Amino acid sequence: MLSRLISLLMCSVLVVGLAGCARGSVSEARWSKAPEPGRIADPAARAAALATGLSDEDLVGQVLMPFAYGTHAAKVAEPAASANRSAYGVATPAELVRRYRLGGLILVRQAGDPTGATNPTTNVESPQQVRRLTDGLQRAAGSLPAAQAAGGQLPLLIGTDQEHGVVTRIREGMTLLPTAMAFGAAADPDLTERAWRMAGTELATIGVNVDFAPDADVIRRSGNLVIGSRSYGSDPKRVSKQVSAAVRGLQGVGVAATLKHFPGHGQTSTDSHQALPVLGYDMDRLGRVDLPPFQAGIAAGAELVMSGHLDARAIAPGTPASFSRKVLVDLLRDRLGFRGVVVSDGMGMAPARAWPPGEAAVRAILAGNDLLLLPPNLAAAQRGLLQALDSGRLPRKRMEQAVTRILTLKLKLAAYDQPALSTIDSPEHRGVAQAIAAKAVTVLRGDCSGRLVSGAARITGGTSEQRGWLTEALREHGILAGATGTQVHLTGYGDGPADLSPRAAVTVGMDVPYLLGQVKSATVLAAFGANQYAMRAVAAVLAGTAKPTGRSPVPVDGMPRTACSAG
């Protein structure tokens, strides 16, 4: 009954580019660059042959993706070595890969964004350091039986959360884009694809071949800060276009894209890091609002989908979607036609901790996940999976299926050459970031042309770095910023009503725009970004040298989507 209902809903409401609703109607994901002749022949068939020849230990290793302590693969400082020994029984990241025969590793950053609290360490410092780390990790992975059997064409999956905006793991030295909402405000899928192609090139340069982006969540709840500016907006059709463009951009340069958080985290008020969010609405609403961007991303060829720790009551009430075959197999694979790798959200998050680590690992694989992200106890996860294989509870065929998908992805990634470090933060890349920031600036209240700041400016709010960026950008337009003048107040991530300035002539929102509905300023701008490119774009609008063409991708109480008819 559920399967039939889902099928009907998919055919009736998810019309964003699939060929049809028959099972298996979505083709295998395509990469924009054709593999060199002879390097890969039928990767899926080759991957299946490799998987059947692997030992249980090698199969289990391929589905595990933990983090490691230390900023170098083979030689780390003693605190990092001690932490690795405590967690894994080895001293270095390279030893970790070899001991557990890992299929992947995630690079993490401990602080600075909403999801950083779940990362126990930081192992990213600069592009050069990350490149040395990933080179060493690939050398370690090259010695594993799976890689040897593939003739060296089986790279380690090295992933990170590089969404840009508030969730950006690798920052220093990289070209940073604004938030996903900025792309939604700019509403230019061609520019989005170009920007994500640039971002993917920089990731590939430093050895990251899996990006846990783009966020495909549709944010419908007014004031929702759980996903916040990580979402492209509130309109499923507009979000779908942005998601598809991001997938094409990333995968066009050999970085696998990940749609998250399936089946949709945008209509929740609970953070799944802390508790199990409930999607309490029916399948009709799920199909109309949450699922279209995932379907669009699948049609664009996304190689991974991240299962969310979400209670989709219309499908599997009381069970996290990440542990539900009804969600991951019946819906995602059988109805939406996804053929790639399903990766779990962090296995150390609260909903996944309902079971001991070994049991959770087994349940997650049986539910339909192929790759387990950040298991909180790697040894226990490995042991649980091996014991389940030995007892028959976890059929070897299911493990081979999961590993075949992982190896298929690896063989595709092997077709791409690594760009030179000189491509990072190039003038061309900075130009792309500036173009997005400029097109995103939105006037919610006030004039849409001419100089919005007369004489000098007094910048308040934000961080000292953000104020410095805006000060310098205004100076380039002949506007001096100091202790007196027109007050321009900045609001950013995490700010509330107490952070507003009631006397500011101009208020600029740098993150989600919801707070701007409470602002009394005569001029209200939404930048949807908090980096130097966003501040330059804001300065150009304040100086009257650029026309604001952005349109808020989410509703703001008491405000139009734009005060400018051209927007």
Q: How many angstroms separate the CA atoms of 460 and 508, rounded?
A: 10
Q: Which member of 345, 370, 429, 489 is catalytic?
A: 345
Q: Which of 371, 365, 320 is nearest to 341 (CA)?
A: 371
CB atoms within 10 A of CB 137: 26
Tell me the β-bridge partners of 344.
307
CB atoms within 10 A of CB 366: 15
- Asked if 218 and 273 count as a contact pair (C-beta separation under 8 A), the reply is no
Q: How many angstroms separate the CA atoms of 509 and 507, rounded?
A: 7
What are the angstrom distances between the C-alpha of 553 and each of 225, 231, 356, 381? 15, 9, 41, 41
Angle in degrees, CA 206, 173, 246, rounded to 5: 65
Cis peptide before 261 (omega within 30 of 0): yes
What are phi and psi for residue 466, nearest 5 degrees?
-65, -40
Tell me the β-bridge partners of 262.
307
Token pair 């092997």 is at which residue?
414
Q: Which of 206, 289, 294 is nearest to 254 (CA)?
A: 206
Structure tokens at 395: 């059929």
Q: Is 261 a catalytic residue?
A: no
Buried b (16+ CB within 10 A) or exposed e, 404-431: bbbbbbbbbbbbbeebeeebbbeeebee
What are phi and psi for residue 507, nearest 5 degrees?
-120, 135
Q: Which of 256, 163, 254 is nearest to 214 (CA)?
A: 163
Structure tokens at 323: 């542990």
Q: How many angstroms separate the CA atoms of 510 and 512, rounded?
A: 7
- H helices of 336-442, where? 357-367, 378-391, 396-413, 427-440
Q: Which member of 72, 235, 271, 273 is catalytic?
A: 273
Q: Is 447 a catalytic residue?
A: no
Angle in degrees, CA 217, 219, 225, rounded to 5: 105
Task: Return the SS3 of 379.
Answer: helix
CB atoms within 10 A of CB 520: 12
Provide the annotated active-site residues.
273, 345
